[in-house]
Each structure stands twice: as structure tokens, then as C-alpha cells.
Structure 1
Amino acid sequence: MRVLSLAVMGAAASLAACAAPSALAVSPSGVPAFSEDMLSPEFWIRRAPSPDVVLLDAGQVAAKRELAFGPEGGLIDLKAIPATLTRAQVAGWVRDAQQTPIKAAINEQGRPVTEAMLDELRQNASAEHIPETTAARHGLSVRRTYLRSLPSGQRFFASEDLRDYESLQAGVLFPGEPVVIAHQSADQQWLFVQTTQGPAWVQRGDIAEGTADAVFSYVAKAPGRVVTGDQVRTVFTPEAPGVSELELDMGVALPRADVSPGEPVNGASSYASWPVQLPVREEDGSLAFRSVLLRRTADTAPGYLPLTRANILRQSFKFLGERYGWGHQFNARDCSGLTSEVYRSMGLLLPPNSGMQGKSAAMNHRLFTAQDSHAERVRALEQAEVGDLVVVPGHVLMIIGHVNGEPYVIQDVPYAVFKDPATQQVRKTKLNQVSVTPLLPLYADDTPLYVDAMTSLVHVTRP
């Protein structure tokens, strides 16, 4: 789960006594040291050194993908899960899945959530009926579907004014992602699965079950098209409702379908589209595959994009202005979803939460502790490169360049908290979207400045 510290959403009164790190004026939008031209990726591309130079070649990117599934890489290698699962193993996964950083205090109607209500959901998890041993089953997701910490679609929140952060939301599966099926809910409407991100519950109808060979062979196929837009859809087709206008997020890679030029696919010619292959769920829940079309005008590429500074900037700015989506709610993404999807479109796989992104063994990073001074931290940020990730507790930001020596970031964030240089008063501007901001003026709540809260500077693009 992407663990955004809710503390970032408030500003402590004591911050008013801190010195302002930047004297630049506040824009009419309420963002400090900002001008409208900064909202264009070309503004930053012009400032980037050698923006079109390939930073990591295809072999280096592939090697980093492998490391992401290794020790401390942050992702789970499903192929390494044994064919036979034990009760203790599955029960441990069920307990792990129930951990959520957001308290379930009120429901969607604003009524208090009682322990009895939560117990009912835990009973539906049916942990007491996990067999002593069970065979691991495999499947692929057939649509964009939410991962849940308990087998329920009910929505719970910490408070009335925090409805953007839902307690049971644990992430998302994109079409074609593999799972290991370990258990099912008492009402049989939910499957308990292990994903590359971790364990969670998912709606049964969104998973097609097949052999391990079928599942992992599909995942291993070379990309025929990679989604490079923020989100694209397959061509509408009433002949195949299961794959009609299917949502595909940035970085989703689909194998090419074996279709002759001009051959009809689901009632339409393929000559003006790209034929690709997607998993589908048969009526009995079994896995099958179907050819579908992506329009040639859709924002896709024939493979992963080259890892260049220009591509990092253009890809990240495609999300600019998108509303914040905790755990990929609202057909959107959160802070670590933003960074992971940008790099996924270039073939790099990042863990799904900010903490693991800050220490994944697949990436080069500099760790910061209390022994690192403010000046040392600022110097590190002054030397940071386009695409570097700044990790603070519960949040991650991406460096996009420097203006007058000061680092700027793109981030998916609820608020910008800073001291107004004109009034010397702490201001809190609600953003709740993918935003461009300077970094040095920004405050967190439980530490004075983001720069002083920084735990890691991740050099994603270094070998």
C-alpha cells in the first residue's frame, strides 16, 4: 500500500517561527516561487543537460527490473512462491493485508464505524477456514481493479474532511497483472491473492484463473505496445464486451496479437489500429486470451520509451492537474503511483510505496539521517538530476530541474505548506493534484522542512 503520511496535510503552528528558505514571491495560485510557464514540460526540457541522451540502455533497464524482484528490491517474485501453501503462510498474508495507515472511523454515509462492523468484514475473510495446505493457483487480472485490505467494497474514512483517503484501499491491479490465488472469502465474491505488490483481496470477477505456465508465459512476452499516455482505452466493440473500452494506465505493456494486416478484430479492421492481446475471463472463471485493438492515434509506443531526461519530463507532465487518488482511486494515482508509472513506461519497475522506493536495492540512492546537516541536504538537492526521487516519510517527489539554483519537483500532493515571504505567516495551499512546486520552501508537519525530513535521494537513472 502507498503509505502517505496524513501529517503532511497539516501545518504546525510552531512553523511560523522558522526562517523562510526562499524569498521569492507567492503566485496568485498560492504556490511560492512559481510562474505559469513552469507548467510546460518544454520549460524544463530546455534547462535539462543533454535531454535526449539515453541514460540507461535496454539491457541496463532489464537488469534493474530483475533487481526489483530480488532481495530488498521491493517487489514480490510470484514465480518463487511454492506450489503448496501452508495455513500459517496464508494466514500471515491475510493479517498483513489488513494493515492500513488510515483509521476506519466513519462510513460512506458519515456514520461511525463500529468494531462489530469491522468484525463482520473480518469474518468474511474466513481465516479460520484456511486449510492446512492448499495448492497455489494462478491468474491474471482482466481489468483495472482495486486491491482491498478486507473482502469488501464498503468505504471507510478517518474523518468527514478526509474522504480522499479510504481506509480499505490497498492499491490497484492493471489488466494482465499476475496473481497467486491463495484463499477466498466466505461469500465467495472475493479472492485473496498475492500480487507483486503484496497480499490483498480482489473481486473474483476481475481475475481469470489459468495454469502457472499460461500466466507467466503471458507476462514474459515482449511488449507489442506500451501505454505512454496517462490512460488510454481499447477500441469499443460490442462483439467482445469484456475488452471493450478497457482502461489501460501508463506503463501497461501488451503483447502483439498475431493478426494479419487488415484482418478484422472483433468486428473492425485492424489496418488503422494496433492489434494486441489481452487476458479475458470465461464464464467459468478460466483464463483465455483475445485480440483487441488500440487506435493508432492513442498514446502508445512499440516498446518501452528510451530512458532520457526529456522522456521523464514529458511523461510526468502528462499527469499534471490530475486529482490525487489514494491507492489509484478515482481512476488516478497517488505520489508513488505517479513516479512508478512514469518509469514503468520506460521499462523500470519501482515498488508501489514511497518508503520502498527510497531504499529499493534496484536503485542507487543516498540515505539521510539525523547526522546530515541542513546545508549538506541542500547541497545534495542542488546537485540532484532530472528524475531523481526525493523521499520523505510517507511521500515521494520527483526532481524536474532547477531555477536560480533551487530544485523544483513534480508531485502528487494534498497541500503546499510554506511561509509567505511577504507576511512571514505560514500558508497552506490546497493542491490535491499532480503539481509543480519548488522544494526548498515546503514544510512538513512533524519536521520543519521537507529538505530536513528527507530520508533518501534516489538516483533512478544511474547504472
Structure 2
Amino acid sequence: MSRLALPSTRTLAKTYRTGTRTWRMRALSLLVMGTTASLAACTTPSALAVSPSGVPAFHEDMLSPEFWIRRAPSPDEVLLDATQVTEKRMRAFGPEGGLVDLKRIPATLTRAQVVRWLQDAQQSPIQAVIDEQGRPVTEAMLEELRQNAATAHVPEASTARHGLSVRRTPLRTLPSHRRFFAGDSLRDFESLQAGILFPGEPVVIAHHSVDQQWLFVLTTQGPAWVQRDDVAEGTADAVFSYVAKAPGRVVTGDQVRTVATPEAPRVSELELDMGVALPRADVSPGEPVNGASSYASWPVLLPVREQDGTLAFQSALLRRTTDTAPGYLPLTRANILRQAFKFLGERYGWGHQFNARDCSGLTSEVYRSMGLFLPPNSGQQGKSTALTHRLFTAKDSHAERLRALEQAQVGDLIVVPGHVLMLIGHVDGKPYVIQDVPFAVFKDPATQQLRKTKLNQVSVTPLLPLHADDTTLYVDAMTSLVHVTRP
């Protein structure tokens, strides 16, 4: 059985079409086999085949972005200018780009269209086997949630409504807070988790649950359920005008928070993930905002939800000491590395659970901080028409794949079924990656026995020779080498 498949279920490795999303497992396991190549403590080889941390061909100096920046060619060279970045961002919302252009959704939604979205949204690669208490999930339990989705009550035609998310909120496959897992040892992967919405993201509202607590929405990522209180409804003009505003501040840290303001709880201590871009609020220098002077902070404009659910906007403050920028960062190799390493050690979070992210969330947010929008899952990142790819099939030899990796550049993405990794450089000609991954399983070169290291975090590892199963190298399972920074 493939090491990408979790035990006790074959459905975890299934692929589902979900509107424009192709769900694949983002990274249910990683197999890393030891290598006899010694690596550098700084720039000189070390005798370590397997480090004390349980990661092969690794030294602690590799945990610093500067280690890799020193090795990168022309690290501060701008790889794509602002015009090229904008053009790529627009292509991501075009045909087969991987993201949904909500402005193209018709004003009138048909029943067939909404029902299809509802069916697509319910597909999950994680089988629902047990609940939070470890009790078996029954068909009756799932049917209760489906009944709350009210598919039978979708009208023949309805008017598309629009809204903005007002906080970091999970997307769900069904309208419920209940948590289901594929097994007791697989609680890092929750069956109903379908992604995340960040503050200020647009949605098309297509339906609502029977209990009125959930909205069924189409997001730029595809269809999903979201808590009603986390979306403010407004006109299409108000929603898309806000989204189109020039960034006033772009979050460049792994996560920052707005200033705590008891006078304005709706915008107090909001979590903002890397790449979130907020327009500047029209505030005079020194003018108080929510009980505090703005002179030592950046005033930004955020959507808020009124008591009747309608959309309004309110100023908030970001401290000047937070990790933000006045616009998207220049797309350079040094910035790619520094941004990626800001997530180092963060816990793996399937679908952005645990206030974190998974493998495709990592790559997406790194590039979003530089203005490039990537699809939300690894499969789409590997084939989006917004990006340049070197695609691989069974006809490509091992040697051809190795040559492609030798020529790969910092920031390129390596896509294998269900997982995506980011290249950070080469040591002795061998590629290394940063990735968000649950496990490292490798063949110890001393004993030739499989050895399993639980990482469950953003980690630096060698790429060669990763295994998709006991006999197939990741390089031979590679489906795409994505050259994100090429025009």
C-alpha cells in the first residue's frame, strides 16, 4: 500500500472534483530515505548521515534562511516585476487557473447550479469514521448534517447575494461544528474541514442551512459552508470595490493581530495571516482610532458585520512593529526564502486547522505576500495555467527527472500526488526543500531499516531520495515541477 494512504481506509487517497478544486490529500505522510551524501555544517561536509533530530542528511545551520540565501544566485534580483505579478494574479482567476472569479458568477443562480455546488462541497478525502469522543460515525449522524444543508429546499432560481468575511473562519463541507476523523491516530485530519477564509475575502451567498446558522457560499477556492456570523452581506459593488482597493498594508509575518480595542470589539485582535492585504483607512495623522492614537500604528480598513448581518467598514490599527509592508514584497529569491522560513516549526494544520496551515497553504501564503495567488491545493498548484510547469508522466525517465531537479531554482514547487514541496537550494548538487509535513520515514543507511520520525510541522529536509512508497522514489512519482517565478 502506498505510504500516502492512511491505514484503515482506502478513501483517503481518492481524488474528488470539487467545482474548480481537485481535492487530493495534501500530505498525509512523508517518506524520507537516508542518503550517504554528507552535508554541510555551514559549507563543509558533515559526517552525519542521520542527524540527532531524526532527519537524514541535515544540519541545524540549514534551519536558517541565511544559509540558503548565501547559496542562492543573485538572491536580491527581482524575478518578476509588478506588472508581471499582476498579470499572473489575473491568470489565476482565468480558465484552469485554479481560482474562481466571483465577478463572473451570474446574478441569478439556478437550482441545478446550487445543488451541484452543494454536492461538490460535501466531498472530502477524509473518511468520517469516529467523532471527537471516539464513537463510530453512523450514516444517521451524517444524514442529520445533510438534512441541515437543506438541498431539497433550494429554489428553482435565486438571486446571488454577496458578502465579505469579517474574521479568519473555517470552511466546512457540511453545516456543522462537529468533528469527524478517519481514526483515533489520525486526528490531525478532520473530515469536514475544507479550508479557511481570511478577513476581507469575498463570497457569493447561494443558500443557507435549516438552522439558519450557516451560509452556503462560493469562494474563490470553490463552494463550502461558513458560519453566518462570520460573513457580512453587502452589494456586489461594495464587496468588489473593497477587494479592488490598493493594499495599504500587506501582512508579511506568519500571522499578526490588529491592536486590541475594547471600544471596537469587531476589529480587536483580529488574526491576519501572511499575504492578507488590507486597504489603508482614511485617517489623519495622529487621529485617534478606537480609543488610541494612530501615530505609532498603521490605520487599515476592515469589513464588519452589523447586527442585521449587513456589511459595514471600520478602521483598525496595526502596530508599526508588526511584520507588515506597505505593499506586496518584491519577488526575489531572498524574499521567498525569508518568507517561507517564517513558518518553520509551525504545526501542520490540515485545511488551516490549529491556527496554522498545510503544505499547499504554506506555498500559497509565501507567494501571496509577494502578490502571486496560487490555488489552495497541491493538485491545482501542479497544473494551474497561471504558472509555468514541467509536467511529468510515466514516460519520463529517472535520469530526465533528476536533470530537471538539478536545474530547478529557489522557489520552484515539486508536486507529487497529494503533496507539494518548495525548493530552497542545493547542497553538493542535491536539492533541499521546505515543506509542511506530518512524518519523515526513511531507510536508515546504517541499518537499512525503515525509521519513522514524527515532524508534524514546517520542516527542512533533503528531497532526494524521498519515497512515495517502499519502492518508488518521490522523484519518480513527481507529476509537476512548477516554475512559479517564470513569466
Scaled by the length of structure 2, the TM-score of the pair is 0.92
Q: Deviations over 1:113-140 (max 9, x none)?
A: 0000000000000000000100000000
Q: Which residue does 1:5 correspond to in 2?
A: 25
Are residues 1:91 and 2:115 paired?
yes
Select the residue among 354, 362, 377 that pairs with 2:401. Answer: 377
Secondary structure of the 1:9 match is: coil
Q: Which residue does 1:448 correspond to in 2?
A: 472
Are residues 1:108 and 2:132 paired?
yes
Structure 1 residues 457 and 295, CA gap change in structure 2 (3 angstroms): same
Q: Deviations over 1:12-32 (max 9, x none)?
A: xxx9xxx96544400000101
Secondary structure of the 1:5 match is: coil
Q: Which residue does 1:201 correspond to in 2?
A: 225
* Count of matched residue pairs: 457
- Give the letter aligned to residue 193 of structure 1: V
Structure 1 residues 167 and 212, CA gap change in structure 2 (3 angstroms): same
CA distance in 2, matches of 1:315, 1:50: 17
Are residues 1:269 and 2:293 paired?
yes
Q: Which residue does 1:304 correspond to in 2?
A: 328
Are residues 1:283 and 2:307 paired?
yes
Q: Which residue does 1:425 correspond to in 2?
A: 449
Are residues 1:143 and 2:154 paired?
no
Q: Any gaps of 5 or more consecutive residues in structure 2? A: 1-20, 39-48
Are residues 1:411 and 2:435 paired?
yes
Structure 1 residues 427 and 130, CA gap change in structure 2 (3 angstroms): same
CA distance in 2, matches of 1:362, 1:87: 31
CA distance in 1, matches of 2:411, 2:27: 25
Q: What is the Cα-based RMSD across aligned positions, in Å?
A: 1.4
**Offset at 1:417?**
2.0
Secondary structure of the 2:240 match is: helix
**Offset at 1:9?**
2.4
| Contact 1:389–1:457 (Cα < 8 Å) also in 2 | yes
Scaled by the length of structure 1, the TM-score of the pair is 0.97
| Contact 1:416–1:442 (Cα < 8 Å) also in 2 | no
CA distance in 1, matches of 2:460, 2:156: 52
- Please list, as runs of the form range in 1=range in 2, the aligned pairs for 1:232-381 lying within 5 A after superposition: 232-381=256-405
CA distance in 2, matches of 1:216, 1:106: 41
**Offset at 1:382?**
1.1
Q: Which residue does 1:62 correspond to in 2?
A: 86
| Contact 2:35–2:57 (Cα < 8 Å) also in 1 | no
| Contact 1:229–1:300 (Cα < 8 Å) also in 2 | yes
Secondary structure of the 2:475 match is: helix
Q: Any gaps of 5 or more consecutive residues in structure 1? A: none
Structure 1 residues 446 and 20, CA gap change in structure 2 (3 angstroms): closer
CA distance in 2, matches of 1:421, 1:92: 51
Are residues 1:32 and 2:52 paired?
no
| Contact 1:2–1:352 (Cα < 8 Å) also in 2 | no
CA distance in 2, matches of 1:286, 1:353: 31
| Contact 2:22–2:380 (Cα < 8 Å) also in 1 | no
Select the residue among 185, 188, 194 that pairs with 1:170. Answer: 194
CA distance in 2, matches of 1:422, 1:446: 17
Structure 1 residues 286 and 83, CA gap change in structure 2 (3 angstroms): same
| Contact 2:359–2:421 (Cα < 8 Å) also in 1 | yes
| Contact 1:417–1:444 (Cα < 8 Å) also in 2 | no
CA distance in 1, matches of 2:189, 2:231: 25
